[in-house]
Structure formats: C-alpha cells, structure tokens
Amino acid sequence: MKKTMVVMLGLVLVSSSAFALSIRNSKHDLSNSGAQAIRATSSEKLCEHCHAPHNAAPKVPLWNRLDPAAASFKFYTSSVTLSTAAKNAALSTGSISLQCLSCHAAAAGVAADVNAFVRDNAKDTDLNTATYVGTFAAGSGLGTDLTNDHPIGFSYSVAVSQRGVTPNKGTALQPIATATNATNQMVFFNYGAKTDQMECSSCHKVHDNANPPFLRIANTGSALCRACHQN
C-alpha cells in the first residue's frame, strides 16, 4: 500500500511539473520573471494569478479572480450567416468565458486592467494579492465589444440542428462527436439548464500554447475552423 501511494505521489508531482511548464514563459505566465507585456509587479508565482488552492470561488476551476458582469458584452451577429441560437448568444453567470474575460475584457493599447477583477482578501494569503502592469496588444485586449469576434455563449448542439446547408445561410455544422474528435476533445460546456455551450475554451487551451495563440489544434488549412464548419 505504501509503495502504491509513493508511486501515485510521484505521478502527481510529474504531472504538476508538466502542467506548470506548459505555461511558463508563455503569454499566460504573469509572473514578474515571465517578462511578458503584462506581468505582476513583484509576484514570482505562476498559478496564483488565476487559481487558488483553498477558498476558491467558484470551486471549479479553483478560481482566484472575480468575473465581469455577463451583461457587459456585445456579440457578433448577422441576419445571413448565423443560426438563431448564435444570434441569441449571451454569457451565463459562471461561464468559463467570463473567466477568460476577467483579463481580456481590457481594451488593446491601454493599461491592462487585469487588477480590476483580482480577488484580494488580506485574511487569506491563498487569494491573489498581486498587482499588474503592462498593456494588451491588438487581438489580445478584446474590450467589451465582441462584435468582431466569433460568437460565444450559445448551444452548439442547438446550432447544429438549425444549420442545414441553405443558400445564403453559411455552412452546416459538424456533429458534436465529429468536432470533438477532430480537435482533441473540444469542450462544450453545461451551465444549469444550458447545455453544449460554445465558449472561448471550445477553441483555446489556456494552459497549452503549442499551437499559438493557445489553440486546441493548429489552424493550418483552417483545420480548427473546419472542425465545426463543414464547408
């Protein structure tokens, strides 16, 4: 039994090291030594900028930041190419996209207001007390107007059912199983009564920048796009 526990502990440590190395020196390394455009003023920690081991809110994914208001954002719309589900896109409270936007809602070219949603509780040193400097580049600082970005916050499975190959209505969508297999487990999220939600993390893996910018697969030949879009 003891030997088994030692082996399991070793595997956890190896996995943790690999996990940490996957964002070290990437643009999601906000430690002071990461030397990224946006970084902590003094903290050398790698994970605290987003995660807390204790007293996190929400508990999954051990979140260490406050989320912006779901109603703050405007989304891409089109009377021609979108399904009804995508036209009605809206973020739910607790949406994983809001966690992304707790940083990326800052506008490009101005001081990145990463500090705005930092959880700061002097009574609990597990919470994030870092402060940040730097600015977002174009494409990273999205602001709250997302009308020039791919829509998020809608049910992919409902969109699939609404997207036949219809003239002037864009392309049909792949079934969830096909899209998931093509993208090494693309994730569609569930929030209460909402299922199969298309979110930022459906296309992006925040801890893995093997395919910049943190894409689930390389987009050579529009492979990532075509994982969902049939034509």
Is position 40 within any domain?
A: no
Is position 84 within any domain?
A: yes
Q: Count the residues in the chain.
A: 231
Residue 119 has pLDDT above 90, yes or no: no
Is position 6 within any domain?
A: no
Is position 119 within any domain?
A: yes
Instruction: Using pLDDT thresholds of 50, 70 and 90, give the confidence band for residue 98.
Output: very high
146 lies in which domain range? 64-228
Distance between CA atoms of 145 and 204, rounded to whole angstroms? 20
Residue 113 has pLDDT above 80, yes or no: no
Residue 1 has pLDDT above 60, yes or no: no
Total domain count, the chain: 1
User: Can you give the pTM of this predicted structure?
Assistant: 0.83
Is position 150 within any domain?
A: yes
Is position 145 within any domain?
A: yes
Distance between CA atoms of 144 and 209, rounded to whole angstroms? 24
pLDDT at 93: 82
Is position 106 within any domain?
A: yes
Is position 19 within any domain?
A: no
